[in-house]
């Protein structure tokens, strides 16, 4: 993903690619306005990621956790869930089992005044 981003975004002068991880970005203290993660939050060490975000984000900065939500009523998703559950012992659910009110999300945003959790579905809830 990083190599694709470097290829696709290299023409933008403010784009900077860094060889880091969620828990150790290698970025300077108080250096970023926004932190976003998509479809990856469930793989992070939540406590270390929160510490790193607190270190690198500017005082008025914002953090966003973004991922897709599957339509669990769709037969294909039900079948995929059944197969994964049967053959993948570590399977916890799609997106690592992360749900809108997951304890990891609550912990990550525990010092926020306001938290907005947005989910997109194929059809209205």
Q: Tell me the per-residue pLDDT of 48-67, one tens digit each, with 9 for 90 and over.
A: 999 999 999 999 998 888 87
Global pTM value: 0.66
Identify whether the C-beta of residue 40 lies closer than 8 Å to the C-beta of residue 23.
Answer: no
Other beta carbons within 10 Å of 67: 16
Identify whether the C-beta of residue 96 lies closer than 8 Å to the C-beta of residue 37.
Answer: no
Contacting residues for 122 by C-beta, under 8 A, at least 6 apart: 71, 74
Identify whether the C-beta of residue 55 lies closer than 8 Å to the C-beta of residue 22.
Answer: no
Which of the four pLDDT bands, split at 50, 70 and 90, describes residue 6?
very high
Tokens of 79: 């079948």
């Amino acid at each position: 993903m990083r190599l694709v981003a470097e290829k696709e975004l290299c023409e933008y002068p403010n784009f900077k690619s860094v060889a880091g991880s969620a828990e150790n970005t290698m970025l300077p203290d108080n250096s970023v306005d926004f932190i976003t993660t998509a479809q990856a939050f469930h793989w992070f060490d939540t406590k270390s990621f929160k510490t790193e975000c607190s270190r690198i984000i500017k005082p008025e900065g914002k953090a966003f956790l973004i991922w897709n939500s599957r339509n669990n009523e769709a037969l294909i998703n039900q079948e995929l869930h059944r197969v994964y559950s049967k053959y993948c012992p570590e399977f916890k659910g799609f997106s690592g089992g992360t749900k809108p009110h997951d304890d990891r999300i609550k912990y990550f945003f525990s010092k926020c005044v306001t938290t907005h959790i947005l989910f997109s579905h194929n059809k209205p809830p």
